[in-house]
Amino acid sequence: MTNTKERTEDTCPLVYQCRLPLSTRTVNHLTDLLRRRLKAIRSRWRILPPGKVAVIVLAVLRHDQRLADMAGGNNVSESTVRRWRDELVGLLAAQAPAWTAP
């Protein structure tokens, strides 16, 4: 038996959807954080708009969705989804109050 990376002619990639309960306020908050960050670093464009990036990251974090699954379903690479996740987690962490030792 030989392994090949070619797809069989009758197959197609499978993408599934799931319902993810998110508040509009949460999505808007993350979208605004990302927009401000992109403006601060003078990023000219991203492959997807900030709102869609926020929803993808929330799906990864909340629904424990695999990075590769989210990447494939949105035509981006797994490393791109990982970078988005790390970026938004960092932005949220920057907003958290600093903990001081008692």
Over range 10-19, report the average pLDDT: 59
**65 in Cβ contact with 89 (< 8 Å):** no
**CB count, 10 Å around CB of 83?**
12
**26 in Cβ contact with 51 (< 8 Å):** no
**70 in Cβ contact with 15 (< 8 Å):** no
Q: How confident is the model at residue 10 (pLDDT cuts 50, 70, 90)?
A: low
pLDDT value of position 66? 83
- 98: pLDDT strictly greater than 90: no
Over range 44-69, report the average pLDDT: 87
Mean predicted lDDT score pLDDT of the chain: 82
